[in-house]
Amino acid sequence: MRSVTYSMSVSLDGYVVGPDGSFDWTAPDEEVFRFATGEVRELGVHLLGRRLYETMLYWETADQDPSLDFSTHEFAALWKSLPKVVFSTTLSAVQGNARLACEGLAEEIERLRAESGEGDIAIGGPTLAAEAAALGLIDEYRARVYPVLLGGGIPFFPQHGRRVDLELVETRTFSSRVVCLRYRVARRPTRPPRPGKDGPASEVL
């Protein structure tokens, strides 16, 4: 079954966008950019909200700029060919190899998981990721941690009010001091309460 992954750049204190809405601190060097390109190469489809979709529209035409280097053209080509599903209540049409979601997030993911296509299902943007996390649909968290403290903004980790256990899969440190952390969600087996053993959380904690 295809995995659902959530990958973004994040500050050391856990934000993807600063309190002023800026994310200029995420500009990657060549090494990090190649790593991000490799992640996109492994994807089968990308799910994203309106704001991230509009931000990424740049890459629909970037490969037409002859002044850009090979790695930039490579990323643009991969992004253009990647199927995308956009979740928006305000857009009436989208460009390129993208379509507007016709169902809810859970239904779209369920259908994509059932398809025979290869590659992971990526969630893009913290708002959409928060919805997916609340539904228990994210299989992997991939954070590119930048050495900066923003003090506030939009958090990387979804604030859905429940505990999620993670298993560390991979770490990688780049020369720019960016650290990539890859965690898989640990699926804990559920069991019914044991009479006389388990009780309300207030009694056992």
Q: Which domain holds residue 70?
A: 4-204
Show Cβ contacts of residue 63 under 8 Å, excluding neighbours closer than 6 positions: 73, 76, 77, 80
Count of the separate structural domains present in the chain: 1
Residues of the chain with pLDDT under 50: 199-205
> pLDDT value at position 188?
62
Single pTM value for the model: 0.84
Domain harbouring 102, CATH code = 3.40.430.10
pLDDT of residue 190: 52
* Paired strand residues for 143: 8, 181
pLDDT (0 to 100) of residue 41: 94
pLDDT score at 159: 77
Give residue-wise pLDDT tens across range 158-192.
Answer: 777 788 999 999 999 999 999 999 999 997 655 55
* pLDDT of 67: 81
